[in-house]
Amino acid sequence: MTKNVLATGLIWLMAALVSGVFVWLLSDILIHGLPQLSWAFLAEAPENSGRSGGIGPIIVSTLLILLVAMVTAAPLGLATAVLLSEFTRYDSIFGRLVRRSLDVLAGVPSIVFGLFGNAFFCIYLGLGFSILSGGLTLACMVLPILIRTAEEGLQAAPNDYRLAAAALGMPRSAALVHLLLPSAAPALLAGLMLGVGRAMAETAALIFTSGYVDRLPNSLLDSGRALSVHIYDLSMNVAGGDANAYSSALVLILLLFIINTIAMSLAKQWLYRRVVSI
Amino acid sequence: MSLSRADRQLLALLRGCALLSAVIVLLILLFLLRESWPVLRQVPLLRFVTDASWHPVDGLYQLTPMLSATLYSTLGAVLLATPLGIASAVFSRYYAPPFLAGLYRRLIELLAGIPSVVYGFWGLITLAPLIGRLHPPGVSLLTGILILTLMILPTVALTVDAALAAVPIAYVRGAAALGLSRWGLISGVALPAARSGIIAGIILAAGRAIGETMGVLMVAGNVVQQPLSLFDSVRTLTANIALEMAYATGEHRAALFVSGLALMLMVLVLVGTAELLFRERRYD
C-alpha cells in the first residue's frame, strides 16, 4: 500500500516538474518578448544586424520559403497519397516500397536535409543560396507528413462512396474529385497545416540553403533569412541581440500556436463528421 | 476491372508522382555519397577514429570527440526523458482527473511543437547561466543533455501514451477484478503489456536526439574535445556540420558529408529497429 502512495506522489511530482519547466520557458519568452512587440516591429527592416529595427523582410522571406515548400510538396504528396490509398493494394510491392522509403525519409535528421539541399539544389541544380533552394529542401522534409495525413484522410472516407460511384459507372477520377477528396478535405488541410508548422520550425536545413541575407528578397532566387535562422543568428552571432531574439521567438511561437490550433480543430471537426456520418 | 482512358492517364500521373516521392531518399543518399567520395576514396574509415585530431584542412579527420559528444548527450537525454515521459503518459492516462488529463496532453503536444531554435535560445539565455554559476562555463554537456531531454520528452510521452491506449481493456478489468492497487495495475499489467511500444518510443526519441542540431549547438559550447565531466563544453556531430559547412571547401567539406552520412546511417538503424518492434506488437 505504501508503494502505491509513493508511486502516486512520484508521478504527480514528475508531471508537475514537466509542466513547471514548460510554464517557465513560455513565460520567460512572453515576459521578455512582449515589450518590443509592436506593428512596427513586424513591419520594419532589421537595423544594426538585427539589434534594433524589426523583422519585416524576415517575415516576408519566411512566408516565401513556406509558399515554395507547400506549392511543391502539397500536389506531390496528395498524388502519392491518392495512389497509395485508392489505386494500390496495401500489400503490393510498389506500394510497400514507396511507404518504406517515406518512412526512412521521415527519419532523416534535418541537418542532413541541409547538406543534401546544399549539394543538390544550391550547387548541382545551380539555384545558389536562395529562397527556392530552401523551400525545395523543406518540401522534401515535410513530404512524409503530408502523405501520411492525406492517406489517413482518404482511407477514412466511407467505402459506400466508392461502391456507389462504381455502380453508377463513374470514372475513378470523377469519384475522386467529386466524392473522396471533398470528404477528406479537412484531413488534407490539417495535414497541410502540420506541414507548415514543421517547416516553419526548421532551422538547420535552412542555414546553408536559403542563407542569412536579411534584406527584402527581390525574387525567389535571392537569399532570404527565415525567422528561425534570425533567432539563431541574433542569439549566437550578434552581441546585444537578445531583446529582439526574444520578440522574434515570441512571434514564431505565436504563429506556430495559431497554425497548430487550426490544424487540431480541423482534425477534430473531421473526426466528428466521420463519427456522425456512420 | 478495366479503367477508362481518363483513369489510365490519371494513374500514370499518380505513379509518376509517387515514384518521385519515393526516389528522394535515394537521391539524398546518392548526393551524400557523391559529396563525401573525395575523402571516402582515399581515407580508410579507421582513420576517422585513429587520427590525432580534427584538422580536416591538414588531412586529420578524428571524429571521436564529436562521436562521443553525440553519444553522451543522447544517452543522458534518453536516461532522463524515459522516466519523465513514461510518468507523463501514466499521469494523463491513470492519475489525472479528466479535465487535467486533457490539459496536460495538450501541453505535451505544444511542447512537441516548439522549434528547436527556441529551446536552444532559452537554454542559452536562462539555463546556461544557472549551470555556469554551479560550475563555469555553463555552456556544457549537461546543458545540452537538459535541453535535449525537454525536446525528446514529448516523443516518449506521446508514444507511450499510444502504447498504453492499445492495452486490451480486458487486461485492465481483469487486474481491477483481482483487486490490484492502481500502481499494481500499472506496474504489473499495463506497462508490461505496452512494453514493445514503450521501447519503440524510446528508440525513436534516441533517433531524434542524435539528429538534433540547433538545440545542442546553441547550449553545448562547441569545443572539440573529449568531455571529462558533465560541465565540459562539447561539440556534437550535428553541431560540427552546422558550424563548419559555412566555410568548408574541398576535402574538409567532403569530411563533413562523411559525418552526415554516418548520422543518417545511425538514425536509419534506430528507426528500423523501432519499426520492427512496432510490427511485432501488431502481430502478437
Mean pLDDT of A185-191: 88
- Measured in residues, chain A has a length of 278
User: pLDDT tier at B281 (50, 70, 90 boundaries)?
Assistant: low
CB-CB neighbors (< 8 A) of B153 in chain A: 18
Q: How far is residue A57 from each of residues A203, B43, B172, measured CA to CA in Å? A: 17, 44, 56
Residues B72 and B36 in one domain: no
In a domain, residue B142? The reply is: yes
Is the pLDDT assigned to residue B1 strictly greater than 60?
A: no
Element (H or E) spanning B176, and its range? Answer: helix B169-177
A113 contacts B95? CB cut-off 8 A: no
User: Three-class SS of residue A47?
Assistant: strand
- Structural domain of residue B33, as residue ranges? 5-42
B218-250: buried (b, 16+ CB within 10 Å) or exposed (e) per residue? Answer: bbbbbebeebeebbbbbbbbbbbbbbbbeebee
Which pLDDT does position B160 carry in this prediction? 93
In a domain, residue A145? The reply is: yes
In a domain, residue B122? The reply is: yes
Is the pLDDT assigned to residue A167 strictly greater than 70?
A: yes
Number of domains in chain A: 1
In a domain, residue A29? The reply is: no
Q: What is the CATH number of the domain that holds B275?
A: 1.10.3720.10
Q: Which of A115, A119, A173 is opposite residue B7, by nearest beta carbon?
A: A173
Residues B98 and B21 in one domain: no
Is the pLDDT assigned to residue B283 strictly greater than 70?
A: no
Name the closest residue on chain A to residue B114, using Cα atoms.
A253
In a domain, residue A131? The reply is: yes
User: Which amino acid, residue B242?
Assistant: A
Three cell numbers at B240? 560540427
Residues B29 and B59 in one domain: no
Is the pLDDT assigned to residue A274 strictly greater than 70?
A: no
B271 contacts A253? CB cut-off 8 A: no
Is the pLDDT assigned to residue B284 strictly greater than 50?
A: no
Residues B187 and B224 in one domain: yes
User: CA B24, CA A199: separation in Å to the nearest integer?
Assistant: 17
In a domain, residue A42? The reply is: yes
- pLDDT by residue (tens digit) across B198-249? 998 999 899 999 999 999 999 999 999 999 999 999 999 999 999 999 889 8
Interchain contact B4–A (C-beta under 8 A): yes
In a domain, residue B48? The reply is: no
In a domain, residue A27? The reply is: no
Mean pLDDT of A86-110: 88
User: pLDDT tier at A276 (50, 70, 90 boundaries)?
Assistant: low
Cis status, amide bond into B137, omega within 30 of 0: yes
User: CA A99, CA A81: separation in Å to the nearest integer?
Assistant: 10
- pLDDT by residue (tens digit) across B108-132? 988 888 999 999 999 999 999 999 9
| Percent of chain B with pLDDT strictly greater than 90 | 66
ipTM for this prediction: 0.91
Interchain contact B81–A (C-beta under 8 A): no
CB-CB neighbors (< 8 A) of B189 in chain A: none
Mean pLDDT of B6-29: 92
User: Three-class SS of residue B212?
Assistant: coil
Residues B69 and B203 in one domain: yes
Q: How far is residue A30 from each of residues A241, A243, A250, A253, measured CA to CA in Å? A: 17, 12, 6, 10
Tell me which of A4-8, A118-122, B140-144 is least confident. A4-8
Residues B196 and B121 in one domain: yes
- Measured in residues, chain B has a length of 284
Residues B16 and B99 in one domain: no
Number of domains in chain B: 2
Q: What is the CATH number of the domain that holds A151?
A: 1.10.3720.10
Which pLDDT does position A260 carry in this prediction? 84
The residues in A 220-249 lying below 8 A from B, measured between CB atoms, are 228-229, 231-232, 235-236, 242, 245-246, 249
In a domain, residue B33? The reply is: yes
Name every residue whose Cβ is closer than 8 Å to that of residue B246 and which is 6 or more positions away in sequence: A207, A208
Cα radius of gyration rounded to whole Å, chain A: 22
Average pLDDT in chain A? 90
Name the closest residue on chain A to residue B255, using Cα atoms.
A115
Name the closest residue on chain A to residue B14, using Cα atoms.
A79
Report yes or no: B99 and B257 within 8 Å, Cβ to Cβ: no
Which pLDDT does position A278 carry in this prediction? 43
- Structural domain of residue A124, as residue ranges? 34-277
Residues B136 and B28 in one domain: no
Residues B28 and B59 in one domain: no
Residues B89 and B216 in one domain: yes
Mean pLDDT of A5-15: 93
User: CA B205, CA B155: separation in Å to the nearest integer?
Assistant: 6
Report yes or no: A12 and B91 within 8 Å, Cβ to Cβ: yes
In a domain, residue B27? The reply is: yes
Interchain contact A276–B (C-beta under 8 A): no
Single out the residue of A223, A249, A247, A232 nearest to residue A54, CA to CA: A247
CB-CB neighbors (< 8 A) of B10 in chain A: 172-173, 176
| Percent of chain A with pLDDT strictly greater than 70 | 97
A10-26: buried (b, 16+ CB within 10 Å) or exposed (e) per residue? Answer: ebeebbeebbebbeebb
Single out the residue of B278, B123, B98 nearest to residue B196, CA to CA: B278
The residues in A 7-26 lying below 8 A from B, measured between CB atoms, are 7-8, 10-12, 14-15, 17-19, 21-22, 24-25
Mean pLDDT of A219-245: 92
